[in-house]
Each structure stands twice: as structure tokens, then as C-alpha cells.
Amino acid sequence: MNYLSVVLVSYNTLELLRKCLSSVYQNGDGLALQVLVIDNNSRDGSPDMVAREFPQALLLRNHTNAGFAKAVNQGLKLAEGEAILLLNSDVEIFPGTLQRSLHFLQTHSEAGIVGCKLLNPDLSLQPSCENFPRFADFVSESFFLDKIFSQSKTFGRFHLTYFRYDQTAKVGRVMGAFLLIRRQTFEEIGWLDESFFFYGEETDWCYRAKQKGWEVYFYPGAEAIHYGGQSADPISPRMFVQLHAARYQFYRKYHGFFSSLATRAVLGIGALLRIFLWLAIMLYRLLLRRNQVKAGAQKVLAFCAALCWYLGLPQRGRLAQSPSSDAEASGCQMKAI
């Protein structure tokens, strides 16, 4: 298995995209690479840079921001490799990562999807695995039980807060920043669900792979840097609303309307509790004359936006706009702050 298709969606991340593509080609020794770059109407010259500096890549230029899932599907329709790698434009591949990931996929016949170890720019660990959410998991999250009992496999089940990232393991889902899928698995589960405009699409893909009997693996023998969230404030209210809406959409898709209503109520309570928490933290800092309130204010605004969404209140202005960055699309864990 040495024919790899790399599907990469780009939006206004020119320098990161250049670094990403350079790392792919520089570290693709021994592989037949098909690199597909789908640009979602970038305004920073990204597509021209790809055409000029990486002519061996197949470039698709969209005239609008088609959304992450739809753009990936455009690439999947042209992918010819024995395996397909979904790669964010803000990921830098390490030497040997592609080869070791493919070897793992080849030697584990039950593996349908594989994710590597993701690192922050300072080379610290970036959590990249989760389980599929259950109602009890949302209760644990909303009432901080996953934080208080982070080593508990009961309360920390959803976000895998107890998980050790130094060992190979079967997981629920891996982050879409680096998601390697076997062609046979892709042919069985089909395209990404384009109703997920941003977030949730890779979780849905992993879930469908599990339904077909495939395993999803985290493999620490391969590593990459994920710069993450370089195009926008990672806790902007509009982005945070999209995060919560996609998570709710996934849960409703597989658990039905009535169960999802209870989930919506619990997550709304969780958002309200965090608003009070961060207001208290900000007040405490002000009383101590500490000027560390900006981050708290951003989080209050983010959770207020999420609470409005759970209550069904209309989003106005910038909150009503969809995020427009592929870095936003899969650069965060689906968890509360």
C-alpha cells in the first residue's frame, strides 16, 4: 500500500498551506502521492501560490466557500489512492509519518481509519481523540464531572480525559486534521455528510465506519504538528455556536428527536453554569486588581451565544455567520471550556 491520495481543503492560510504542502512532498519518499488541494475561494493568494510552487498538485478552485465537508467530497471524487488522507492546511508532517501510518493501516486489516499523534507548535501534546457522546457524557460535561474526576473512565469517557497518548488504541473518533482512511472503508461508508457545514463531519464518518465493522485507531508511532485555529479566534462566539450546533446535530442524527431535546436542555444548563463561573472569575480578578479579564469576557460571550442557540433564540450580526476557515472546521475538540 504505497499509493496515497492527500485531500486538503484550503481557506486563507497561505503560509501554513505552503509549509503543509512542502512537508508532504519532502516526506513522501517511497510513496506514489496524489495531492488534491481544494481552495474555498481564498482571498490571500493561496491558490495562485499552489499553482506556482506546487504544480504537481491537482488544484480545484471554488468560487464560493463551499464548506469543509463539501470541499472534501470534491477531492474524494478524484482520489485514486489505495488510502486517502484528509489533511488540514495547518498541519506539518514529520519524516516517516506518512509511511508509518500507511504501514499500520496495511498490517491491521480491521483498521478502517487511523489518526496520528498531533502536537502543538511548541511540541506539547494536542488531544485528538474522543468517544461518541452519550446522554450521560453530556451530564458529566455540563456539571464539570469530567473535570473533577478526569481520570475516571465513567466521567471522562467522552473526551477521554484519562487517555494516554503514548500507546496505540482503538478509539471512537480521531481529529480530522489528520485522518487516514482505507479505500475499501471509504467505498463502504460513502461521502462526508455535507449537512455538517463545519465540525462534526469526521465524527460522523468515524461513526459510520464503526457501524460497518471497521475499527478507528489512534497510532502514536506517527506524528505531525497541528497549528490549529490560525485563521480565527478559537473561542469566537460564532465559531463556538457552530461547534455546539454540530455536536447536537450529530447526537440527534443517531439518537432521535426526543432524546436530543433532553440533551439540549442539559447542555443549555451547562452553558449557563459556565457563564456564572466565568463572571465570578472575572469579578475575583477585578477585586484583586488583576487585568486578566479579557479571556474571561470572551468565554462569557461564547457561552452566552451557545445558550441563546440552545434556547432557540435568533443569532444576530456576526453570530449568524458561518465560520469560514478550514482551520476552524476541525481544529478543536468538541468539548466545553
Position 331 scores a pLDDT of 47
Mean pLDDT over 176-189 rounds to 97
Confidence of residue 230 (pLDDT cuts 50, 70, 90): very low
Contact criterion met (CB below 8 Å) for 125 and 119: yes
What tens digit of pLDDT does each residue of 120-133 get? 999 999 999 999 99
Selected residue with higher pLDDT from 191 and 324: 191
Q: How many CB atoms lie within 10 A of CB 49?
A: 18
**Per-residue model confidence (pLDDT) at position 316:** 56
Grid cell, residue 326, equals 478550514
Crossing angle for the helix pair 201-211 and 68-76, nearest 10 degrees? 50
105 near 218, Cβ under 8 Å? no
335 pLDDT tier (thresholds 50, 70, 90): very low
pLDDT of 42: 95
- φ, ψ for residue 251 (rounded to 5)? -65, -40
CB 115 within 8 A of CB 180: yes
Query: What confidence score (pLDDT) does residue 196 get?
Result: 87
Dist CA 74 CA 307 (whole Å) = 34
How high is the mean pLDDT of the chain?
A: 90
CB 199 within 8 A of CB 330: yes
The H or E element that residue 308 is part of is helix 294-310
Supply 119's cell numbers.
Answer: 502536537
**27: Cβ contacts below 8 Å, ≥ 6 apart:** 93, 94, 95, 96, 97, 98
C-alpha cell of 300? 462569557
Backbone angles phi, psi at 128, to 5 degrees: -140, 10
